[in-house]
Amino acid sequence: MGHTTPKVSDPNQDPSKSVKHGVGPVTGLRELLFPSRGLSATELLLAVNLTVATVLFLAWGRDYGVNLRHWAEVWWSAVREDQAYGWWLPTIVLHAGLGHLARNMLALLVASGAVEFLVGGRWTVAAYLVTGLGAAWVSYVGHGAPPLSVGASGAILGLLGCTASFIIRRRRMFNYAQGWKVWRIYVPLFVLLLLPVLVNADVHAHVGGFACGLVLGPWLPPHARIHKLATMDSLRDEDVE
């Protein structure tokens, strides 16, 4: 009977920092979506969007849509007449309704979790802000009329763009098993899901955010967990019988 080295987990150790020699990296769904001890960047972004929506829904009730549109129109005028570009910032955490909020939060959970796993929490928040504002600017220029577009979808597409260009730029870092999954599973699914989204609702914001992400992604530094996972390749060519 062969001997199998048991896997030992240290409860005080960050799962992403597990090393070889009998201790495998923890890469379950929980760790992929929230790859951080304590409050992850993904949880933080979700909390901000949900908190803003909850406060406004409670404050405005049935007048939510009317008041939100009024705000967006006033902000558009402020940007156009006074160059008050700071009004773009709140638009990336506002949503047109419950359905809009639910769809975006589900997409944000996946997109932010992917970026955070690859580059870490701080860079994920920065990417959300940069690509979200870039999407807001493209939307503003593309429409040329009020109101300002609202929603996190531009930033979410930006995070997906970051993921795509990061993987392409850093492709040599991934081991055989990771590379196989990326190019044979994740990329085809990514394309099938992305293309319909790009042409839905605010096309300018979606395309603008995704383009910003493609530009930003190659410059994001990989998290230490990527280097460590790359050393644990159970499907290297020489190991395949």
Whole-angstrom Cα distance, residue 143 to residue 79? 13
Burial of residue 3, with CB atoms counted within 10 A of its CB: 0-12 exposed, 13-18 middle, 19 or more buried = exposed
The tokens 């998290």 sit on which residue?
Answer: 223
Whole-angstrom Cα distance, residue 84 to residue 77? 9
Catalytic residue among 16, 18, 139, 206: 206
Number of H helices, E strands in the chain: 11, 0
Please give the distance of CA 62 from its chain centroid, rounded to a whole number. Answer: 31
Catalytic residue among 153, 165, 204, 223: 153
- Characterise 233 by phi-psi region: left (phi > 0), alpha (psi -120 to 50), beta (else): beta
Whole-angstrom Cα distance, residue 35 to residue 225? 10
**Does residue 3 have an active-site annotation?**
no
How far, CA to CA in Å, does 10 sit from each of 25, 222, 231? Answer: 11, 24, 20
**Does residue 36 have an active-site annotation?**
no
Query: How many Cα atoms sit within 13 Å of 220 on the Cβ side?
Result: 35
Catalytic residue ranges: 153, 206
